[in-house]
Amino acid sequence: MTRCDRRARRVRRRGLEHSRSSPVVPCMNGPADSPIRPKLVVRDGAGEIVIGTLEEALAFIARHELAVRSANRDGTIFRLQAATSAEEKIAANEAFRGWVEAAGLLIRAE
């Protein structure tokens, strides 16, 4: 069993709860180059960046662990990590966009 599999099992068992003793492990079971449509331009520090893949979305949300906490953040991370089928990738894309909007980080969609 891989580290990602163990993490996914632990998150499922806890009902998508996050614990400070269990840091988020950014890993993807699906293709790393799964595109996000439309691309999202998001606020990152003083600048802005374009998020164009699920892997970039996961890296972005993992970097903002302490800066932007929300109830659905951990569920969004889980969806991004576990997305393998087309339907799961669409759901992960929508979850990430919802999280970015809720956190006030979305500038525009391209």
Residue 41: per-residue pLDDT: 95
Q: Under a CB-based contact definition with an 8 Å cutoff, are residues 9 and 69 in contact?
A: no
CA distance 46 to 43: 7
Question: What are φ and ψ of residue 42, in 5° steps?
Answer: -125, 155
Q: What is the mean pLDDT of residues 75-79?
A: 87
Radius of gyration of the chain (CA): 13
Mean pLDDT, residues 78-90 taken together: 90
Asked if the model's pLDDT at residue 76 lies above 50, the reply is yes
Side chain identity at residue 79, one-letter code: R
Q: Return the domain boundaries, the chain.
A: 3-19+27-109
* Euclidean distance between CA atoms 34 and 74, whole angstroms: 20
Residue 91 pLDDT class (50, 70, 90 cuts)? very high
